[in-house]
Amino acid sequence: MTEMHEAPDTIQEPRLWSDGRWTAKVIKNEDDDGWAVAMTLQGESEPALVGPWTMGRDKKNPKPLDVSAFHTLVKTASEVLRRHEQQLHAQLNKSVTIVAADGQRLRVALNIVPDEEGATATLRAEDAFGQEVARVPVSPAFRLTAASATAWADSGFERPR
């Protein structure tokens, strides 16, 4: 039995292109007389990227979208999303390496899980072999530094206040 896959809804108009995943829409730039292009990922309410768009030959209307421009815009918008995800991951996942009072080298990690109801966070310590030594819940506002990680280890891994 052969599976049937529907082709994504494609739109190829001068001011609107879509491949079913990304949509490029040329819009009037509200700040001046020029034009802008907004790149929106399917299912998102806000564009991932809004940037200037080239004027056409008549210097009044926008240059029409084409396949090359669309692919470049998709690549750029995808990169913007990827960088945003990396930045968010870095904000939510931090780690430091310390040497505890007993001479043991530890990697201490703070992992924050965002939630509309209220974020949660976990502080975790691993030994040099990656084995978990301790894990405690902490406030998402906990500031992980080498000093706070060392103090936690030296306290016998008691939950920080």
The residue among 151 and 7 whose pLDDT is bigger is: 151
Question: Is 29's pLDDT higher than 70?
Answer: yes
Whether 67 shows a pLDDT value over 50: the answer reads: yes
Mean pLDDT estimate for the chain:
91
User: Quick check: 93 pLDDT over 80?
Assistant: yes
Kindly list the distances between the CA atom of residue 129 and the CA atoms of 9, 49, 126, 142, in Å, as whole numbers in the listed order: 50, 43, 8, 26
Neighbours of 128 (CB within 10 A): 10
pLDDT for res 6: 44
Question: pLDDT at residue 107 above 60?
Answer: yes
pTM of the model: 0.68
DSSP, collapsed to helix, strand or coil, labels residue 27 as strand
pLDDT at residue 2 above 50? no
pLDDT at 8: 57
Look at residue 31 and tell me whether its pLDDT is greater than 60.
yes
Cβ proximity of 22 and 77 under 8 Å: yes
Q: What are the residue ranges spanned by the domains of the chain? A: 11-91, 100-154
pLDDT in tens, 111-147: 999 888 889 999 999 999 999 999 999 999 999 999 9
